[in-house]
Chains A and B, each alone.
Chain A
């Protein structure tokens, strides 16, 4: 904070006029929210790709159990440490568990959250509220670099003896408590201990980010940017930040407990008389495995909304901009995310119906779980109704946004049966669950992320992404993602379990589980859909890099949008705006009758009328 003090000594002049930042300050250890956002985006996208690759290797195993994946199999079979799980290039069950656990962890904590929350939030939120940066730029930088350390730890865990964590992304004890311990393993450099350490760093990074986001939205809104003039995306990030702020620390506590159990031999989660392979274990006992589940799901259910809310925020921006009309029910949507945020803290035990927690407790969580579907439905309905009577511009971001709605709808509606104890007992841990939450996160949030990338790319780079390649990317992704996930509903309803390392059997003559017989043929189908989905990302990756240097150059506001980020130059300089910024109207004044254009930016003064400025916001800019 010493440099802030340093700034105080200066006049209102911008520092960067007489201080040229070095390469390191500008691109690596940058405190600029836009650079940090882009750092988060690049790291997150790489992890998204990496997690997807883990899944493709697993999908090969499910399609053709016991055979080596062409090209990839022999490579994995020759890499140090990893080869232990790929004898002869064939994935072992341990390898399947390892890739499965890390796929979940990476996608949730290292892919989606860093992109949807940290990347978009960092880049867009200060711009949309008319702020020069985040409130705590250096804490912002610390957040990214703490996250970076957690990334390094997670990746390094693949290379320690025994490989990365194998106990699922949920790391349930006592399984996770005893995993990777013993003479063959290092006491600290083993998969599960590194998973916990990496998660503790990841959580710390999230907390630093969350504090910064909330403080920024509360403190740095431009004059006239009243609460109900905030773009919906800012509201979504605001609630998301609160979820991260309050839900993540209990998982940090749980992570510390499990770390103590593994490294110091305590018994937070280790029950009395735990026997492993006919041997009484070393733990004193007296611990509670259920405690972990409570603490874990106390985070992990709000986490679901952390995954989806920024996505809905992005979709709201894209929809308003491309329908050329205000989003339907802005106030109802804002109310809905508040209710959603609050309720998300009291639904966690619907993940634990199988633990036999008793009918009364189960009923409570059934009720809250059903109730939370109401605000969710308000959000998706409002977005859907926004399309009504609109002259829609089917740009690439809008294509993703339109696809988001039915996809998120499928994911959400298939979740309602799971809210009920009795149904859940049957569907628990089947592919039905996998299909349900992947519909929400993959064609839901990831499509929203794509929409956001195409939408804000011109702001970040000053150039458009290629429209044709974008359309190819969209249509192929839409087709194959459904080919990948829809059959999972069918398999799940037949009872196929999510953790079978062979997907139920190699073929109908070699079934490991008879109940898989009627749905086994979907395995290769889904796997090839996954590979094709992977191929469908090539146009995106190419487009992304090609457009940075060769895309069509654009000005400030290529989408003719109303929110403040389009008032800044593209790309915005350090400090964001090259003029004094003030807000005179709501976020979605599209097609206002009598207006010259079909969009009226928030910064456009209201003509003869005195600007409606919030009562007490004279100070912010004069405080320079």
Chain B
């Protein structure tokens, strides 16, 4: 039994089956990511002033990944066009580049961006304790400029309370930090006062501050910058009792609604990238067997999977500004 229009287009619709199928599938994907992005909108609009972070992600890295995906979109079209012209070796080249781009994207995401979040620590300060940490938050300065308040102190954890999940990580960070102080000759302080690395108090956190908390009134911190600013050597001591929420945590999904939606959307997008790469690898290697028997059929498949790939890129084109820039 033969299904009609598997390879050749139906004249009145102008489509072969798989091309229609992928467009329908992509329509449902639009609704899936539409639902996910509506989650982003709801959470962001519902966030109290100061609770939605800005400028946390590394924009140059995001820009790089955006460029990588756009390049791969171009090469996947070239791969398809080469097949249309029956230039198989050029197809192999372009498809190879596409696969490498996809893998590069995933490597940057999984080996660099995600781990960076997992080692970054932040605490939300209770409303009635905000004044206590004014030197790290600069809220009077921000209020004068009619900007949203700062409610989070973030950076690298150097000392965690006794029994905390993060005690061991903090110890390692503290060692590294002391080492840096030693290298920089700042062991004894620049102005005679060395930063606190650990305390004897079993109930407090010591955080090596992010630039925004280190210099909260610096105008450069009022809006996100393109280049990531280096970690400062300043530290802050935060009492556990002043912290809002039950579990101060690294930047993991449950840290805040922002990271919840960041990891969920980029995670699902990453799964789509992975899926695309695996299919590409199949059509670069064992799947090419079809080309010898029915080159047009094989070309169609590349067109279909290419359409999927363009969609995956398109999702990223929404992810990038929503999470990195806005």
Contacts and interface: CB of A to CB of B under 8 A. Distances in A.
Interface of A: 1-2, 4-5, 7-10, 12, 14-16, 131-137, 139, 207, 210-212, 214-215, 218-220, 245-254, 256-257, 260, 264-268, 280-288, 290-291, 294-295, 298, 574-575, 614-621, 623-624
A136 B29 contact: no
B35 A133 contact: no
Nearest to A614: B12
B192 interface: no
B185 to A, nearest CB: 40
B1, B259, B260 — which one has the most chain A CB atoms within 10 A of its CB? B1
Nearest to A271: B46
A2 B288 CA distance: 11
Contacts, number: 200
A16 B2 CA distance: 10
B8 interface: yes
Given A291-B38, A619-B5, 9 more contacts: A14-B1, A16-B1, A136-B17, A139-B21, A215-B24, A260-B260, A264-B253, A266-B254, A266-B260
B7 A8 contact: yes
Nearest to A6: B293
Given A247-B31, A264-B254, A619-B11, A286 B51 contact: yes
Contacts of A207: 25, 28
B48 to A, nearest CB: 8
B156 to A, nearest CB: 20
Given A268-B39, A624-B2, A283 B32 contact: no
Given A264-B254, A287-B43, A295-B38, A282 B247 contact: yes
A624 B4 contact: yes
B14 to A, nearest CB: 9
B254 A295 contact: no
Interface string B9-21: 0111101011011
Interface string B282-297: 0000000010011001
B149 interface: no
Interface residues of B, number: 55
A421 B257 CA distance: 32
Contacts of A16: 1
Contact of B17 (A135, A248, A268): A135
27 contacts: A5-B293, A7-B2, A8-B293, A8-B297, A135-B5, A207-B25, A215-B17, A219-B5, A220-B4, A245-B27, A249-B31, A251-B35, A253-B32, A253-B39, A257-B264, A265-B253, A266-B264, A282-B246, A284-B247, A286-B46, A287-B43, A294-B42, A295-B38, A295-B39, A619-B5, A620-B10, A621-B4
B28 A5 contact: no
Contacts of B5: 135, 219-220, 619-620, 623
A246 B25 CA distance: 10
Give the interface centre of A249, A283, A618 by most chain B CB atoms within 10 Å.
A249
Contact of B20 (A131, A218, A246): A218
Contacts of A623: 4-5, 8
A264 B260 CA distance: 9
Contacts of A575: 1
Contacts of B294: 5, 8-9
B148 interface: no
Nearest to A252: B32
A37 to B, nearest CB: 16
Contact of B38 (A8, A133, A250, A286): A250
B10 A249 contact: no
A556 B134 CA distance: 85
Given A5-B294, A282-B247, A246 B21 contact: no
A521 B293 CA distance: 74
B1 A618 contact: no
Contacts of B32: 249-250, 252-253
Interface string B46-74: 11100100000000000000000000000
B212 interface: no
Contact of A250 (B31, B256, B264): B31
Contacts of B47: 286
B245 interface: yes
Given A4-B3, A268-B257, A215 B20 contact: yes
A242 B290 CA distance: 32
B255 A284 contact: yes
A214 B1 CA distance: 21
B6 interface: yes
A132 B42 contact: no
Nearest to A265: B254
Contacts of A250: 31-32, 34-35, 38
A133 B257 contact: no
B11 A291 contact: no
Q: Which 9 A-B pairs have the closest CB atoms?
A: A253-B35, A250-B35, A266-B260, A249-B32, A265-B254, A249-B31, A616-B11, A575-B1, A616-B12
A211 B24 contact: yes
Given A4-B3, A218-B13, A9 B36 contact: no
Contact of A211 (B3, B28, B46, B48): B28
A624 to B, nearest CB: 5
B196 to A, nearest CB: 27
B5 to A, nearest CB: 5
B170 interface: no
Given A282-B247, A284-B257, A619-B10, A136 B21 contact: yes
Most buried by B among A139, A219, A249: A219
A266 B257 contact: yes
Contacts of B51: 286
B301 interface: yes
A254 B34 CA distance: 11
A16 B20 CA distance: 27
Nearest to A250: B35
Contacts of A246: 27-28, 31
A599 B293 CA distance: 47
Interface string B200-238: 000000000000000000000000000000000000000
B248 to A, nearest CB: 10
B197 interface: no
B261 interface: yes
A2 to B, nearest CB: 7
A118 B252 CA distance: 40
Given A220-B3, A284-B254, A286-B257, A5 B290 contact: yes
Interface string B257-286: 101110010001000000000000000000
A245 B17 CA distance: 17
Contacts of B20: 135, 214-215, 218-219
Which of B15, B42, B290 is the most central at the interface, judged by chain A CB atoms within 10 Å of its CB?
A: B42
Contact of A286 (B11, B256, B268): B256
B6 A287 contact: no
A245 B46 CA distance: 29
A138 to B, nearest CB: 11
